[in-house]
Structure 1
Amino acid sequence: MALTNLPSNMFAGLISTNVSEIYLNNNFIKSLDGEIFSKLIHLRKLDLSWTGISDSNYTFAGLSSLETLSLSGTWFSNFPNFCNGNQSYLPKLKRLDLDNSKIDSLSTTLMCLDNLRTLHLVKLSLRLLYKNTFSKLRSLENLNLGRLGSQFRRIEPGAFNSKSLKNLTFSVTSTFSFNDHYIKRFQQLFSNCSQLEYLDLSDNTFQISDYNWLKMFKPLKQLKELKLKNAKIQYLPTFKQNIFPMLRRLNLASNRISSWQGNAPFNEMKTLQMLSLRGNRISLINKTSFPESWNNGEGSLKTLLLVGNPFSCSCGISWLRQWIDTTTSKNITTDKNEWQCSISNTKVLEYYPMQTFPCLVTYIVPSLMALFALLVTSFVCYIFRFQIKLKLYRCKSRKDGYNSISNKGYVFDSFVAYSYKDLNWVKQHLIPKLETQHHLKLCIRDRDFQPGTVFSDHITEKIEASRTFLLILSDNFARDKWCKFQLDIASHIGISRGDLSIIPVIIKDISFKSLSESIYNVINNTDCMVWSEDGPASELFWTKVVEGIH
């Protein structure tokens, strides 16, 4: 058919029938008068897609029985008006398709479609999404905003606000980015989407930190499926159980993921059943890549998809090669028959690393060297066993002599000045070593300062009550104005009191641009101790720190 208009009596012969669907798609119809269909009381679906209907000539009066309406490919440049005063022309409408239409703006809140369940707005030329655009669609459950195109630039916080929305697809192109620079727009993006169960954000670019990632998705406690295909993700974000308590399916296919640190991204996932990492840049999978419960088949994971990754068929793939032969893997890795080695055309299933000479050497030689080192160490300890016992005795005696604080009435052995960003180092290394092991009493501001007191007064009071001043230097310290304030106060008290020793400890490198004059003077005029995790160096470091305090 090549209809250009719809005569008023076109459907007169269908009035007494039970016709429920009419398809007028792919015609040249330029106007719509809903009254033409008014006597078709059983009409439920009307397809007017790919016609010439536009903003200038249409009315939906007479279509009150419709449940599905397709206006895809039409010439509407604005979202159609479905309001008849305070009423709706289409009170029963459940599905509306406006894909590929000319709509370039949704500047007003969509209204008068109280029973609408599904709204498709695929391939529109939108430039931005406004706050509360869909909030008046009280029954909306499925919203598809896929493939919006490179002209899309901005989304306002709360654009998806909806108390009923369950399934959302929002994909633009690689030109639209979720990044930390505009994070304030995205942190509240889903704050009022508490019922969302399915979320597809594929084909956008994601460049946000773990903290902002978790904050953006935190409101979605009902989310069961998350798709982030082709999202330019390079580093796996963390999927915490308290943020994704219901997540069942996770699709991260076609990204740029090559590796991740241990099993941290998935360690807390107790409900995940399907994980797709297809088409990434993963070359090695080892025992620590996934939680132990997944490896032994005791976890929730039922499907793991890894096809399309450039696996490195070398000795490093030994664990993976053994694992895919286990019963657990056979049930989970449904696409393992298609896994390919990156260099050759060999399939991973056909590669047996322990049958190759290089791999045998790689595994056997380190074992022999470790055994040899153990034997040498044991022999040396036996030969010098008396000298070692004497050294331990001297250390114990010195430790016992350091237990009491100075007789001058100081409350603390040392005031510890550090940046808040280095608090973990203080907790994990400094406190256990000096307080627990050497029984020194330290003043730690995050522990010993009383709330409600003026911070600067607290600093002065605690430094004056301390016998020494322990300076934990790092680039974080050098950029912190309160840290530099503490150093200045300590220098002043040291001059006036005469017996306050400043003990500088460097735990991280300090950039030249962050180096202040006061820090430079301390480093230049004092014997600094540099933190190291190396065994002998670490022991020497702590010995010098304890001696400095005493």
Structure 2
Amino acid sequence: MLQSYFLIIVLLALPVYILVARTSSCPKPCICKKKGGTASCRGALLRFVPVFPTYVTKLYFSGNLLETINASTFRNLEGLKLVFISLGQNGITHITADAFSGFRFLLELDLSRNPKLTPLMVADAVAHIKCINFKHIILNRMIWRNEPTELYISLSHFNIQKLEMLENNFENLNMTLLSENLAQLKELRIGYGVISIIQPGYFQKLEILDLHFNRIRFTKDFFGNETTCYLPQLVKLNLAANSIASIDKLFWCLDNLNVLRLDGNPILDVLNNTFFYLPSLEILYMGNLGFRFNRIDDRAFQSSTLKQLWFFNNHFVFIKDVMHHFNETEIFRHSPKLEYLDLRGNEFPSIHVLEKMLSPVKSLSQLIIDNCQLITLPENLFSKLPNLFYVSLRNNRISSWNGQRVFGNQSSLRTMRLTGNSLSTINERMFPRKALTHLSMLFLGNNPFACTCSNVWFKNWIETEQSIFENYPELYHCKTPPEKDGELLKDGIPTQFECSNTKNELFTAIVTSLSLSGIVFVIIFSLIFRLRWHIRYWLYLYRVKKKEFSLITNEETDYTFEAYVIYCDNDLKWIQRELLGKIENESEISLCIRDRDFEVGKVYVENIIEKMNSSRRIILVISHDMVKSNWCLFESRIAQEKCLNKESDALISLMVEDVSEENMSSSLRAFVNSASLSKFPAKEYDQEQFWLNLTKLLRNQR
């Protein structure tokens, strides 16, 4: 009798206990937060779903071990008004059709990273969700090989607004079928896949389309035809890292498009009016386009709304030549509202190009030109940009500049980044304080500072306004003198008193010695200058005799290089891009290039002699700059000596610019006339035959 009473009491108390447990405790090892109504059991390796407090409306249950899911799996969730549940990475192998039938308030479901689930299983289970307001499903990294068309049909019973299927393996995407079943869709994300075939579809309400990291080549009618715009409400479009080579006349009728991502595509050029027909475009990403990108038309970026342009890591050389096309005065003139410009990872051979490019952009407020091989700051630019408050010039080769010419009388700059450059000395001439009254943040760390008396002014400035120097003192180290290498700048720079004493002691000795040595130096230098090339040639003959170098003969010799190339510094880019690309990379014929193959630390003349002796032939690259270069003429004289006993084709002359014989020295003219001479053709269709003839000539002794 007592046992019966006890059982009745237990049965009556059990619901009360469960209610109290739900309202007050969170099951271990889960974490519950009443504010926001969340419960998280991520990575707990649970094999069941425990009881949760009644306030929980969002359950994060990824990284557990629910291999099979059915209606009973979620029995302990009865009574909760769950609007979101995440079941990602649970190793689910089977899911029944009634698994989610008990969720009457469910709005979002995440089944990601359960690759053993088939699209049909998911479609059957989703179809039985009782909440008609269900609107968001996430199916990332399911590794599906076929497009889940069955799922589209199941989801058609709901007003789905967001569908996310990242990292799957189906090649075809039928947006026509998608739009027919998910007419209310506002956000579609199908990135990190292998989609190569895509059928367009009409989405009346779609605002976000993310197809990045696929293999899609878009046709010109993807966004609409003459009568219909397929995506009239699109606001954000992400097409990054696909296979788009041309964007000419691709974008139109997208009147609401605000953000466009094209970075990581093998785009070759940007032609006129490419973005002109996007009346709401404000943010454009065009970075990492590859080494083949080579053309920007005058009105390529013409837009009355564009505010941000991310044009980074394109390796574009802002110079007018046969390889790159752009107009320095027009490129940004037609983007009047541009505020943010990222040009990092490109190249500016002339610092004056920046002034001509950017001066028209009066609205510019933030400028990034990191890693652009700059050696100084652009003059007459910052003072012409009244709204510019942030500029980043990190990881260039900047060593000094004239502050008055750079900043003018007044600059609006508030933040300036110059970390990772070649700054050794900072003085008042570089940072005129009257012109930089707004400067409040300055990054100068990771530069090779000289901890000498030349930086006393810099040290005093830091001590006076330390608040503007970011990352000081930890990123400010001495590089020179050698005994202070690595020491903190604040400890390494001498005091002003120490520098004053040193100056007084050295002044008299320096003046005396300089006066005497100056006279002797002028006399000796005058003689050396007049006889400089005779001296170099005599030294060369002396070294040849001393080291017992022999003349090159027709006898078979093991050569390291097929040809030694004589060129001037201004032709180096042509050598790297054209000659090496066609002869070494494509034809596998080794060439000796001094900027690459000379041994560091060895005397320059010895390098020339040894490398010529290691080369079967000599290639003379003739240009206007070459015939004016004393070093090239010196190399030519050595080459002339080396070629005396060789056959007629030992020397090959390549004329990359039309140089008349009147502009050559008599010895160079005679040398050139004795060689095989070829002119580099100006027309591209003649260049292939030119390279073929040169390759045959270099191989005829093999």
What TM-score results when the alignment is normalised by the length of structure 1? 0.61
Listed one character per residue, the Cα deviations across residues 98-118 of structure 1 (whole Å, up to 9, x for unaligned) are 111011122325212111111
Listed one character per residue, the Cα deviations across residues 268-300 of structure 1 (whole Å, up to 9, x for unaligned) are 4431111111110000101221122367xxx11
Q: Give matches, 1:329-348, under 5 Å.
A: 329-337=465-473, 338-343=475-480, 344-348=485-489
Contact 1:109–1:132 (Cα < 8 Å) also in 2: no
Work out the CA distance in 1 between the residues paired with 2:164 and 2:338.
Answer: 33
Deviation at 1:163, TM superposition (A): 0.9
RMSD: 2.7
Contact 2:383–2:406 (Cα < 8 Å) also in 1: no
Other-structure match for 1:361: 501
For the pair 1:68 / 2:208, whether they are aligned, the reply is yes
Which of 179, 193, 201 is the matching residue for 2:343?
201
SS across alignment from 2:357: helix
Contact 1:240–1:269 (Cα < 8 Å) also in 2: no
Q: For the structure 1 residues 341 and 180, does the alpha-carbon distance in structure 2 shift closer, same or farther, using more than 3 Å as the test?
A: farther
Equivalent position amino acid for 1:332 in 2: I
For the pair 1:251 / 2:392, whether they are aligned, the reply is yes
Which of 84, 87, 95 is the matching residue for 2:236?
95
Deviation at 1:91, TM superposition (A): 0.8
For the pair 1:325 / 2:463, whether they are aligned, the reply is yes
Listed one character per residue, the Cα deviations across residues 443-496 of structure 1 (whole Å, up to 9, x for unaligned) are xxxxxxxxxxxxxxxxxxxxxxxxxxxxxxxxxxxxxxxxxxxxxxxxxxxxxx
For the pair 1:266 / 2:402, whether they are aligned, the reply is no
Contact 1:141–1:164 (Cα < 8 Å) also in 2: yes
Equivalent position amino acid for 1:169 in 2: W
Q: For the structure 1 residues 64 and 313, does the alpha-carbon distance in structure 2 shift closer, same or farther, using more than 3 Å as the test?
A: same
Work out the CA distance in 1 between the residues paired with 2:350 and 2:229.
Answer: 42
Deviation at 1:199, TM superposition (A): 0.4
Work out the CA distance in 2 between the residues paired with 1:137 and 1:147.
Answer: 22
SS across alignment from 1:205: coil
Other-structure match for 2:92: none
Work out the CA distance in 2 between the residues paired with 1:235 and 1:24.
Answer: 48
Corresponding residue pairs, total = 362
Work out the CA distance in 1 between the residues paired with 2:250 and 2:378.
Answer: 34
Which of 297, 300, 304 is the matching residue for 2:442?
304
Which of 339, 344, 357 is the matching residue for 1:216?
357
Other-structure match for 2:107: none
Other-structure match for 2:277: 136
Other-structure match for 2:332: 190
Contact 1:19–1:43 (Cα < 8 Å) also in 2: yes
For the pair 1:23 / 2:164, whether they are aligned, the reply is yes
Equivalent position amino acid for 2:331 in 1: L
Listed one character per residue, the Cα deviations across residues 327-380 of structure 1 (whole Å, up to 9, x for unaligned) are xx22211222211111411111222412785x243444589999xxxxxxxxxx
Deviation at 1:82, TM superposition (A): 0.6
Listed one character per residue, the Cα deviations across residues 111-147 of structure 1 (whole Å, up to 9, x for unaligned) are 1211111111111111222111111111110000011
Q: For the structure 1 residues 184 and 169, does the alpha-carbon distance in structure 2 shift closer, same or farther, using more than 3 Å as the test?
A: closer
Work out the CA distance in 2 between the residues paired with 1:53 and 1:183.
Answer: 33
Deviation at 1:160, TM superposition (A): 0.7
Contact 1:127–1:154 (Cα < 8 Å) also in 2: yes
SS across alignment from 1:88: coil
Other-structure match for 1:534: none
For the pair 1:50 / 2:201, whether they are aligned, the reply is no
Deviation at 1:320, TM superposition (A): 0.8
Other-structure match for 2:417: 276
Work out the CA distance in 1 between the residues paired with 2:466 and 2:251.
Answer: 50
SS across alignment from 1:226: strand
Q: Percent identity?
A: 31
Contact 2:414–2:441 (Cα < 8 Å) also in 1: yes
Larger radius of gyration: 2
Work out the CA distance in 2 between the residues paired with 1:260 and 1:289.
Answer: 6
Equivalent position amino acid for 1:202 in 2: R
Work out the CA distance in 2 between the residues paired with 1:226 and 1:365.
Answer: 47
SS across alignment from 2:454: helix
Q: For the structure 1 residues 168 and 289, does the alpha-carbon distance in structure 2 shift closer, same or farther, using more than 3 Å as the test?
A: same
Other-structure match for 1:232: 373
Equivalent position amino acid for 1:306 in 2: L
Deviation at 1:180, TM superposition (A): 5.8
Other-structure match for 2:263: 122
Work out the CA distance in 2 between the residues paired with 1:8 and 1:236.
Answer: 57
Equivalent position amino acid for 1:309 in 2: N
Q: For the structure 1 residues 8 and 213, does the alpha-carbon distance in structure 2 shift closer, same or farther, using more than 3 Å as the test?
A: closer
Deviation at 1:65, TM superposition (A): 1.5
Other-structure match for 1:78: 218
Deviation at 1:78, TM superposition (A): 3.5
Q: For the structure 1 residues 32 and 280, does the alpha-carbon distance in structure 2 shift closer, same or farther, using more than 3 Å as the test?
A: same
Listed one character per residue, the Cα deviations across residues 247-270 of structure 1 (whole Å, up to 9, x for unaligned) are 010011110101112442123443
Equivalent position amino acid for 2:194 in 1: G
Deviation at 1:85, TM superposition (A): 3.0
SS across alignment from 2:336: coil
Determine which structure has greater relative contact order: mean sequence separation of CA pairs < 8 Å that are 6+ residues apart, divided by chain length: 1
Other-structure match for 1:178: 318
Work out the CA distance in 2 between the residues paired with 1:83 and 1:191.
Answer: 30
Other-structure match for 2:301: 160
Q: For the structure 1 residues 190 and 366, does the alpha-carbon distance in structure 2 shift closer, same or farther, using more than 3 Å as the test?
A: same
Work out the CA distance in 1 between the residues paired with 2:183 and 2:494.
Answer: 71
Equivalent position amino acid for 2:340 in 1: Y
Q: For the structure 1 residues 271 and 128, does the alpha-carbon distance in structure 2 shift closer, same or farther, using more than 3 Å as the test?
A: same
Contact 1:134–1:159 (Cα < 8 Å) also in 2: yes
Deviation at 1:17, TM superposition (A): 4.1
Work out the CA distance in 1 between the residues paired with 2:382 and 2:293.
Answer: 33
Listed one character per residue, the Cα deviations across residues 223-257 of structure 1 (whole Å, up to 9, x for unaligned) are 00011000011121114456311101001111010
Unaligned 5+ segments in structure 1 are: 371-512, 515-550
Contact 1:131–1:158 (Cα < 8 Å) also in 2: yes
Contact 1:119–1:143 (Cα < 8 Å) also in 2: yes
Work out the CA distance in 1 between the residues paired with 2:159 and 2:217.
Answer: 34
SS across alignment from 1:206: coil
Work out the CA distance in 2 between the residues paired with 1:166 and 1:57.
Answer: 31
Contact 2:455–2:493 (Cα < 8 Å) also in 1: no
Contact 1:248–1:273 (Cα < 8 Å) also in 2: yes
Work out the CA distance in 2 between the residues paired with 1:50 and 1:183.
Answer: 33
Equivalent position amino acid for 1:334 in 2: E
Work out the CA distance in 2 between the residues paired with 1:294 and 1:336.
Answer: 23
Contact 2:443–2:469 (Cα < 8 Å) also in 1: yes
Other-structure match for 1:315: 453
Unaligned 5+ segments in structure 2 are: 1-141, 511-661, 664-702
Contact 1:109–1:134 (Cα < 8 Å) also in 2: no
Work out the CA distance in 2 between the residues paired with 1:235 and 1:151.
Answer: 28
Work out the CA distance in 2 between the residues paired with 1:8 and 1:273.
Answer: 54
Work out the CA distance in 1 between the residues paired with 2:308 and 2:374.
Answer: 22
Contact 2:241–2:262 (Cα < 8 Å) also in 1: yes
Q: Give matches, 1:318-467, under 5 Å.
A: 318-326=456-464, 329-337=465-473, 338-343=475-480, 344-354=485-495, 357=498, 359-365=499-505
Contact 2:169–2:193 (Cα < 8 Å) also in 1: yes
Contact 1:220–1:243 (Cα < 8 Å) also in 2: no
